[in-house]
Structure 1
């Protein structure tokens, strides 16, 4: 009885279109990076969206050199590169434009944050590694299975999904 009930439930769950799952994963992964990227920019905004991608707040450059431990000579470059990634990759991901590239870029950023910026957090039971897993999981879904039908990639004929 329990086995049949579970099989029925599994069939029902299997009816959720992958395109919906992929879209939700794309949005979920994009939001924290977008918010972080917007917080790094000094420029003005239109309807709450910063439009100056090349003007970083001095406090953010300070973070990269004095808090995150990047050498002072490259901290401004790393801060700028991070801000560009956090402001360009999330919209690409949400719209489904070069989706797997965007997912890979954000996954690499997640790994750098975890393993370079906060390596000591891996050993703490309440460390931020669990937050980074929440970022990585939807990115891995999109990276491995594609953006789904609700994407620009699908409109231009990109491969939708690699496996069931």
Structure 2
């Protein structure tokens, strides 16, 4: 029985199951921030920040220089998820999303730690530690140049 359990653990601990898990982690994390990014732009545009975004950053979030901080957040929430989902500079993209999460946690929604932000921190942590995995552009580039 122990032999079968060890064999099963070896199978699910292999490179392909890990790659699949990392792919799902990348897609899940990128989706969270991408959906948020799309709420910050004018309907029908790609990156034109909406007046509502400026209002929220000023009035609800209390961020300094809402035109600038809103624009930075809007661009980061579009660009970093693309890096993560394609697995290109995955660790850098995940670290950027972790930084955004911590800013949101500390300055915007401090009450959302256990409901939401801890999951985002866990997802970013996995990608920072493990990278994009086998099914990532990082791996393809690494194999080509490494």
Q: TM-score w.r.t. structure 1 length?
A: 0.77
Q: Matched residues in 2 for 1:93 and 1:14: separation?
A: 22
CA distance 1:6–1:114, shift in 2 (3 Å)? farther
**Residue 109 (structure 2) aligns with:** 118
Q: Among residues 52, 62, 72, which one is paired with 1:81 in the alignment? A: 72
**Long gaps (5+) in structure 2:** none
Q: 1:59 deviation in Å? A: 0.9
In terms of fraction of residues, the more helix-rich structure is 2
Q: Matched residues in 2 for 1:152 and 1:141: separation?
A: 17
Query: Deviation per CA, 1:137-156, whole angstroms, max 9, x where unpaired?
Result: 12111101111111111111
CA distance 1:130–1:96, shift in 2 (3 Å)? same
Query: Deviation per CA, 1:34-81, whole angstroms, max 9, x where unpaired?
Result: 00001111152xxxxxx531x11111111111100113xx11100000
CA RMSD of aligned residues (A): 2.0
Query: Deviation per CA, 1:76-117, whole angstroms, max 9, x where unpaired?
Result: 100000000111111111111111110000011011111111
Q: Runs of 4+ in structure 1 displaced over 2 angstroms?
A: 3-13, 127-130
